[in-house]
Amino acid sequence: MTDVKNENRNRALIVEDEFLIALDLEAAMTGLGFEICGLAPSAEEARSLAMNHLPDIVLVDVYLGGAREGIETARWLRDVCDASVVFVTAYTDDATLERIREVVPGSPILAKPVYRERLAAAVAEVVH
């Protein structure tokens, strides 16, 4: 069963395998006025939650469970669910950043730790 969207608030999905970071991002997004439609620690759970709740924006960690599958997950969420994507990552090496830009062009990339001001600016950049 698909949820009916609350027209007054945008929905955010958080794809992060580190629980405390996910909770911090949830608090930050709630503070920005978003309805949180789920915290997903894996690509599979992210896809399931996205199909059921249709988020407007997704915050995605690049490394989920030790693999760099967050990038492909983000592309799927953007292409299939039409969600805007903001990457949140501790990995800001050139190869990772190049891969993000190649697979999901135009998505903001925030280095951890994520400060709320930077998060607010990145979200404002992608939410219509």
Question: How far apart are the C-alpha atoms of 7 and 31, rounded to whole Å?
Answer: 18
- By three-state DSSP, how is residue 89 classified? strand
Structural tokens at position 117:
């001001």
In this prediction, residues 104-112 reach a mean pLDDT of: 95
Terminal CA-CA length for the chain: 26
Give tens-digit pLDDT for 30-49: 999 999 999 999 999 999 99
Share of the chain residues as helix, strand and coil, in percent rounded to the nearest 5 = 45, 20, 35
Look at the chain and report how many structural domains it folds into: 1
Instruction: Report yes or no on whether pTM surpasses 0.85.
Output: yes
One-letter amino acid identity for 58? V
Q: What are the DSSP E strand ranges found in the chain?
A: 11-15, 35-40, 57-61, 84-89, 109-111
Confidence of residue 1 (pLDDT cuts 50, 70, 90): very low
Percentage above 90 pLDDT, the chain:
85
Residue numbers of the domain that contains 52: 11-126
Q: How would you list the strands of the sheet with 35-40, edge to edge?
A: 35-40, 11-15, 57-61, 84-89, 109-111
Task: Please check whether residue 34 lies inside any domain of the structure.
Answer: yes
Look up the CATH number of the domain holding residue 27: 3.40.50.2300
Task: Please check whether residue 117 lies inside any domain of the structure.
Answer: yes
Residues comprising the chain, all counted: 128
